[in-house]
Amino acid sequence: MVKHAMKRKDAANWWLSQKAGVAKAVDDAERGSGHQIVVAVGKLGRRPDIAANRVARKHKGATLVFCVDPLDRCFELRWSATVSLSVEVIKQTSALLAGERLAEAIALVAASLPVQAEGNELPDIVED
């Protein structure tokens, strides 16, 4: 029980150390690209791919949805069908996420999007 509690504390501390930088990255990326970006923080479970699909469906107005599971240090990215990401951007983003460099990954993906007029404002970070 103590080991699990320590893991939760470490995860919470890790996310708190990331949160301000992630919020700034989302704000800068949205302002620069006009696209809506949501970072959903919560447990993704044994099938993070399925959980991320479910989260992305909840945020239909977002161009990018970054799913973050701080406890398992798992990351998933979903993007709108209206944009395409190059293989190189996906590869670089995967490397950044593997290195737990979420703010840099957000900036990279957003910079690859075509600039558009701003849409409806969505929450930048959603914590479940």
Convert the pLDDT of each residue in 49-89 to its tens digit. Answer: 999 999 999 998 999 999 999 999 999 999 999 899 999 99
Please compute Rg for the chain using Cα positions.
Answer: 14
If one compares 117 and 66, the residue with the highest pLDDT of the two is 66
The topology (CATH level 3) of 2-127 is: Diaminopimelate Epimerase; Chain A, domain 1 (3.10.310)
- Full DSSP string of 20-67: HHHHHHHHHHHHHH---EEEEES---S-HHHHHHHHHHHTTT-SEEEE
Backbone φ and ψ of 68, nearest 5° = -130, 125
pTM: 0.89
Domain boundaries, the chain: 2-127
Residue 73 has what DSSP assignment? Answer: T
Separation CA 63–CA 81 (nearest Å): 8
If one compares 110 and 119, the residue with the highest pLDDT of the two is 110
Is pLDDT at 125 greater than 80 in this prediction?
A: no
The pair of three-digit structure tokens given for residue 125, joined into one six-digit string: 């970070």
